[in-house]
Chain A
Amino acid sequence: MDDQPRTPWPALAGGRYLRSARPWRAAGYLAGSALTGIPVLLALVLLAGAGAALGLVLVGLPLLALLCLVGVPTGAVERRRLRLVDRTPARTPHRTPAEPGLLAWARLRYREQATWRELAYAVLHGLLLWWVDLAAVAVLLGLPLLLLTTPLQLALAADGEVKVIKLWLVTSYPAAFACAAAGAVLLPVLLHPLGALAGARAALTRALLTPRERELQGLLAEVTRSRARLVHAFEAERRRIERDLHDGAQQRLVALTMTLGLARLDAPPGPLADRLATAHDEAGKVLAELRELIHGIHPRVLTDYGLTGALADVAERSAVPVDADLGTALPRLPESVEAAAYFGVCEALANVGRHSGAARATLTARHTGTALRVDVTDDGRGGADPAAGSGLTGLADRIAVLDGTLTITSPPGGPTVLSLEIPCPVISPTSNP
């Protein structure tokens, strides 16, 4: 696409406008109005007529109810048509129903102001606008084109005469060419008001059919809320899985290794004892693996000791030596905050171990009274690309939901600093050191 302005408005004055495809797009847009206007008009007339006639016998009421929704499909089509003359995407002003089903959808639509704006547009469009659009195209584009083609019409005319726009009788070629010349002069002149009208129409459509500021904010708030709900659900699910594995599989496996251990003591030396030994060791390995797995799903220490204990624990497990400076014990913070910070540090230290070539890392965590701030610094080669790690992206999302920020600075040659800051209140004065 070239760098043309988005609507016909600004470019009307210049000659560039005439050389571009915009006049023709404007004409197409206006002419296309009839394609939507006629069905809308029919739907309005039929539904209103039938609804009013049958209203007395109740059958008409659903028809009238349906009439109110005519604007919804009209708006959808008209927003798409806008692309002909206006590249800015026109978003739907409607919200998505919380639950599936036609009833929920209808209930939401009737409650939305946007539905009624769309109905107003549909009525306006069906009764007036498409006529105006079509008339404008006919006069501003049709007239010059007719004049231009006068010689051709004369050549094709059977009786050697042409009535130009039903007004003047043209019988000779010079007169026909004079008409054509007039058409040639008129065409570029009239294309300007055509473009201006298309611009005005597009602006009107946009004003009525796209979300208002308040609706946009509502949409954004809704998206944020649903994302937060997802994160919380995700956390709750992790805790549930951890609990189930701990209470179920892990307990059983411990009991199994104990039974096998006892059996080994009882077994006389021989091939059976050797097999028991193998089974026993194998069960032990499975148990160790399961332990690590469960720890990765949700570290118990986070629930029991809060961030201070959990972060000290991560620092110890890290492949690269970590100097952990957790200050005085951090207070207990909301669960989602603790989890986000904990997994953030895990991810950061894993990246240090994988990519940085660092010999040491430092971890600091502080609660400023209004926010939690955690920094992970390493003395590695730097040049980390935040976009490269999908883990980091997920992490940034997780922190964004909590209104927090995740920043990474990693100049070539290091040091790499990953900082996360999450605003949060204190739940209780301190966690266990």
Chain B
Amino acid sequence: MKWDEFFVTGDPMIYGADVSIVLTMVGILFYLTKYKKWKWLWDEWLTTVDHKKLGIMYIVSAVLMLFRGGVDALLMRTQLAVPEAKFLDSQHYNEIFTTHGTIMIIFMAMPFLIGLINVVVPLQIGARDVAYPYLNAVSFWTFFIGAMLFNISFVIGGSPSAGWTSYMPLASNELSPGPGQNYYLLGLQIAGIGTLLTGINFLVTILKMRAPGMTLFRMPMFTWSSLVTMVIIIFAFPILTVALALMTFDRLFGSHFFTLQGAGMDMLWANLFWLWGHPEVYIVILPAFGMFSEIISTFSRKTLFGYKAMIWSMLLIAGYSFLVWVHHFFTMGSGALVNSVFSITTMAIGIPTGVKIFNWLFTMYRGKIQFTTPMLWSLGFIVNFVIGGVTGVMLAMAAADYQYHNTYFLVSHFHYVLIAGTVFACFAGLIYWYPKMFGYKLNERIGKWVFWVFTIGFNVCFFPQYFLGLDGMPRRVYTYSEESGWGPLNMVSTIGGFMMGIAFLILVYNMYYSFRYAKRETTGDAWDGRTLEWSTPTAMPPFYNFAKIPEVTGLDHFWRQKQAGKVEKLKAEDIKPIHMPSNSGVPFIMASFFFVAGFGMVFDWMWMAIAGIIGVFATLFYRSFEYDDGYYVSVEEVIETEKISK
């Protein structure tokens, strides 16, 4: 292999990226060395098993990925702003829409939500930790390494270009030669391990680690949504694992699962992909629903309306999510009967979702609404998500879908549900729980600017795309002719896209500004909250979360205690030694071996792949022989941390 096959060459933008990557790396290494931060980095972050720190690392990674995926989006919108633009060539455009889709779903939306779940759920259920703290670190590092492996493709070897759905035979060796598609397969495979482990970890955590008195029907809605999400993960992710593995076999070892030679079946890929892919949509939307439930209830000063209806509707949605996958390919020859069945199941999802929308509205009805930034995002969600949902029902009509299929109408629909659902929730949840993570709120005034610029930009960007789609503009095209008449609306759409980019920059500025100037919280209850995570006396919960495990008597326990003026004060005699798990460097090292193995397979260098896999197993066995029962936090240290006066 020659150097110019290994490194991507020939495009000035890529050279720019190379230079900026090298400069950033040098800058980070210089900073860590100059300020002697290596030990701090290793002890505090790389080896941590604290769910709150892992959650923060998930969120930081997700924000970086939002930047990368966002830059991809803006490059696409720049290319499409005017007819017959020469900004990107067709191959480059294919690569960018592929990485945009994959990164936003797998490496941005899901990790962002899992990060918030990590930070919040153990606190909400009154637990000291998750069920498997060590495994939690393995989950994070395999996700992170998978993301990094996928991301380096654009400077080393070349990006995948077969779309985030990677339909065969387009993704085969013949039509997608080179390592690009392998990056997709291996990056997702490694990150998928982490997601499955998270699913098991949090399912057990929520089932087994709840504080005394917290029955299932006293759990906060965000915890409920996480529980349901974890069940979907556990049954959906193995399907992705298999699908990716089969395609890897096709590409690297000459099997014939999805190829046209050897009597393989390309539609099998489409079915397997969406059997995972459709539930995936609910993996990224249900936690969002949970967050909106918390935020709307908190800032309406009311208990969530229809708590049980909310739970049952969520369970129904989870069940349906496995029964609708064919609606992603109505036009690919399933026949009228199959299409009808999947058309009906798809529309049926609208019913429980409608139940939830009305419950949020009734929660606000006669509430004392506070228009904080998290609340604004939640209100924006309701309006915009309904637009996405209604157009979704339009798409669900199989016969009509023949008109919309693969047009910008579809593109607009799923951006309306995913951005207004998941991304709005990520912003809302981040701002809402920011004081729990960092001890101060983000600035509200700047936050409102972010909200308005982003929401207006979002609508300016995507609403015109419904009309472009109805007018026949296909998705995934890199350019279009003057005569098509799509120019003006595309220009409008691009302007909206850049407004969203500006809003992202304001958000980052807000983080910086608030870090410098925001008033520090003195109690743990920054928003006058309702659920247990707000009941810790210190602004940021200590590493052991609760000095004394709370006892729960009903829904919104903490809120009702506050109303009754009966919040218990911690007393020194209540404190007992707390058992905690030790930090471990093994997850980070194991993930590094995964990187070696993945990188070797991407380039079909089997010696390297085998070395990496041996490394993975070596770390597994090493860990098996390690008997570390953790340590106890002394009563004195707890009293010191909680500032209890004797």
Q: Do A and B come from one complex?
A: no
> Interface on B for A, CB 8 Å cutoff?
none
